[in-house]
Amino acid sequence: MELELEDLGSNPTDNRPFEDIAGAYISRRGLLGGSLAVAAATFFTGTGVAGAKGKSSGTPGRGPATAEPLIGFDAIPLDDTDQIKVAAGYTATPFLPWGTPILPGAGAGRFPANAAEQAKRIGLGHDGMWFFPTTRSGDRGILCLNLEFGTNDHIANGTAMTPGTPAFVELSQAAHGVAVVEIERTTSGWQVVMGSKNRRITATTPVVEFTGPAAGHPLLRTAAGDAPGGTLNNCANGYTPWGTYLTCEENFNGYFGATGAWTATEEQARYGFSAGGFGYGWHVHDPRFDLSNPAHVNRENQGGWVMEIDPQRPSAAPVKRTALGRFKHENAEVVEGRGKRVVVYMGDDERFDYIYKFVSDSNWKSMRARGMSPLDHGTLYAARFADDGTGTWLPLTVDDPALAARFADQGELVTFARIAGDVVGATPMDRPEWATAGPNGDIFFALTNNSRRTEADAANPRSPNPDGHIIRIEDGDHVGTTFTWDIFLIAGDGASSGDGSTIDAEDAFGSPDGLYADPDGRLFIQTDGSQPNGTNDQMLVADTRTGELRRMFTGIPDGEVTGVARTPDRKTMFINVQHPGNGDPGVSSFPDYDGATPRDSVVVITKDDGGVIGT
């Protein structure tokens, strides 16, 4: 999501860590379960797992690779047309556009006629997603798809409904959230299955549960006693080795506003709440989003979490795991660390905000066997990057006297995790977006851009930073408190342009956002923001051993490329084109090309020879 209002930067602290440093499946009924046999098999072939260390020189420009090249396609040029383009030898096919029915009774038109129809269809803002196979072949499975947002204009253009009315607010709320949909590969391509697992979770329904330190906390309760419902601005995602989906709430603040007198608290200011919000206007017609309504004070604290969904149990309540902290979550990359502890790497997408990780207290299998979620019991850390290429994970716990002086308890701390990061002196970053784990355990983070940086540091080496960069963290066995890091690349028009970028001009790109490292070490890089000469957003593939980079896919004008899922054999990849033409039929009519309002859509990528994507 690249909106002017989303990333204003609400960190008022003056953390200067560099100066500081210079001085110095076992299923249990009632638990989210998933289908462990298939889940575990795919998890451990699909994500970085601790252990296989011994990476080669790796750093681009600092050493030759000795292995065979990983990238087998020829790069495509930048593009500015209203057509998706993919490398020769590949095919890209739209799938599951906005409005696709996934539940019975969804209505017949291309666009939903009202909120009730929208709640039975794919919504808007296709972003993070994951494919959970239900067959060994991977030809059938459950796709969990985040529906991050749709602007009022985009929704109105398609549906011809009028913004600023109660019915429109309900429609907009129904367009947000998550879709869980069974899909299968047929002789005519991937198709929706109207299966029993299909489900829509919207911005307001169903009732969700909270677990972890903030569960039941007064800060999450309203005077009206609202049952917490739904999920908002679901950006990117994660998935667990026990077969569940993690959906990450990002710019939740923008849906709240004030109809009456209201002054932001320190905490509300730190999370970017404002009287007008981002212009959705929900607060005008739904008092739960009205910051000035005393009956609903604290409703805003129910957003900004990582929420777990069991794709196999469509009637189970989604669970917000508060131990992972409340901030503008981008994604949640889960790896298995030493002692089978689960470790979750997360970014907070705001200018000058932080990188985090969560480490479970112990072995995830034994925790689940004892009826505990590994995501409820553990330690949350924020990252401090030193300019010598080392770093420290700073524990965010009230065992720290400095944090105990600020927070009454751990529930308050995780609810205002950003402020905890301020207190301990985490490093303000250039908008942390996705994290992904490479096959040797290296963690890559996209820092998308920061036009307001005035002072560079080693981890954010360009000021201002209009095009972003990717940082690489070597975090040992993942459960420790020290790490090393380097800059994998700096994006831009190319090193020869003098803009500080480290890539070749032919690979020019800006604003890295979505990342996915495959088990061979290919890093898929998706963009959301300004591209060279105003061209379309794109997806490139990097060889993480050599830094070689090739452009694989280009999107649609004013639409971002985001989200990655794949079948276990990696011969089908799903990505998304989000907000094509920013919803303006005068800019784009993707994917229908009949002059109607453009629709956010999944894009299925296959290789014509049936090979692994990227080869």
In this structure, are residues 32 and 239 in contact, taking their beta carbons and an 8 Å threshold? no
Is 333 among the residues that bind ligand FEO (CB under 6 A)?
Answer: no
- Give the long-range contacts of residues 390-395, CB within 8 A, separation 24 or more: 390/482, 390/483, 390/484, 390/485, 391/473, 391/482, 391/483, 391/484, 391/485, 392/481, 392/482, 392/483, 393/357, 393/480, 393/481, 393/482, 393/483, 394/421, 394/424, 394/425, 394/426, 394/481, 395/424, 395/481
- For the chain, report the end-to-end CA distance as a whole number of angstroms: 29
Cα–Cα distance measured from residue 143 to residue 350, given in angstroms and rounded to the nearest whole number: 28
Which of the listed partners (ligand FEO, Ca ion, none) does 457 bind, with a CB threshold of 5 to 8 Å by partner kind?
Answer: none
Smallest separation, CB 93 to ligand FEO (Å): 24
Is there binding between residue 430 and ligand FEO (CB under 6 A)? no
Nearest approach, Cβ of 328 to ligand FEO (angstroms)?
7
**Backbone phi and psi for residue 175, each to the nearest 5 degrees, phi listed first:** -80, -20
- At its nearest, how many Å lie between Ca ion and the CB of residue 448? 5
- Contact call for residue 433 and ligand FEO (CB under 6 A): yes
Which candidate, 598, 563, 584, places its Cα nearest to that of 238? 563
Amino acid present at 97: P
Choice from 290, 330, 376, 584 touching ligand FEO (CB under 6 A): 330
Q: How far is the CB of 293 from ligand FEO (least distance, A)?
A: 27
User: C-beta of 153: minimal distance to ligand FEO in Å?
Assistant: 19
CB 520 within 8 A of CB 439: yes
Q: Is 235 in the site for ligand FEO (CB under 6 A)?
A: yes
- In this complex, which beta carbon is closest to ligand FEO, that of residue 345 or of residue 407? 345
Question: Quick check: 350 binds ligand FEO (CB under 6 A)?
Answer: no
CB 604 within 8 A of CB 183: no
Q: Which is nearer to Ca ion, 537 or 543 (CB)?
A: 537
Nearer to ligand FEO, 152 or 392 (CB): 152
Strand pairing category for 429-430 and 390-395: unpaired
Q: How far is the CB of 514 from ligand FEO (least distance, A)?
A: 8
- Residue closest to 391 by CA, chosen among 458, 444, 455: 458
Taking the complex as a whole, the smallest distance from the CB of residue 252 to ligand FEO amounts, in Å, to 11
Comparison of 536 and 567: residue with beta carbon closer to ligand FEO:
536
Sketch the per residue contact string, 36 through 75, with ligand FEO: x for CB under 6 A, - otherwise. ----------------------------------------
Q: Determine, following the binding rule CB under 6 A, whether residue 503 of this chain makes contact with ligand FEO.
A: no
# of chain residues touching ligand FEO (CB under 6 A): 8
Q: Name which position in 513, 537, 543, 600 contacts Ca ion (CB under 5 A).
A: 513
Contact yes or no for 477/337 (Cβ under 8 A): yes
Strands in 58-139 per DSSP E: 85-86, 90-95, 126-133
Residues 307-346 that bind Ca ion (CB under 5 A): none
Query: Of these, 528, 543, 584, 600, which contacts Ca ion (CB under 5 A)?
Result: 528
| Minimal distance, residue 132 CB to ligand FEO, in Å | 22
Distance CA 190, CA 520 (A): 25
- Neighbouring-strand partners of residue 234: 249
CA-wise closest residue to 96 among 574, 527, 557, 571: 574
Among 349, 412, 422, 558, binds ligand FEO (CB under 6 A): 349
For residue 519, what are the contacts with CB-CB under 8 A and spacing of at least 6?
45, 46, 47, 439, 570
Rounded distance between C-alpha atoms, residue 224 and residue 466, angstroms? 44
Among 82, 170, 182, 250, binds ligand FEO (CB under 6 A): 250
Name the β-bridge partners of 562.
576
Site for ligand FEO contains 148 (CB under 6 A): yes
Residue 559 near residue 584 (C-beta atoms within 8 A): no
Q: Which residue's CB is nearer to Ca ion, number 286 or number 430?
A: 430
If the CB atoms of residues 248 and 414 are measured against ligand FEO, the closer one turns out to be 248
Q: How far is the CB of 305 from ligand FEO (least distance, A)?
A: 15
Pick 133 or 559: Cβ nearer ligand FEO? 559
Q: Are 532 and 525 in contact (CB under 8 A)?
A: no
Q: Return the one option of ligand FEO, Ca ion, none that residue 348 interacts with (CB less than 5 to 8 A, by type).
A: none
- Contact residues: Ca ion, CB under 5 A: 513, 528
Residues that bind ligand FEO (CB under 6 A): 1, 148, 235, 250, 330, 349, 433, 513
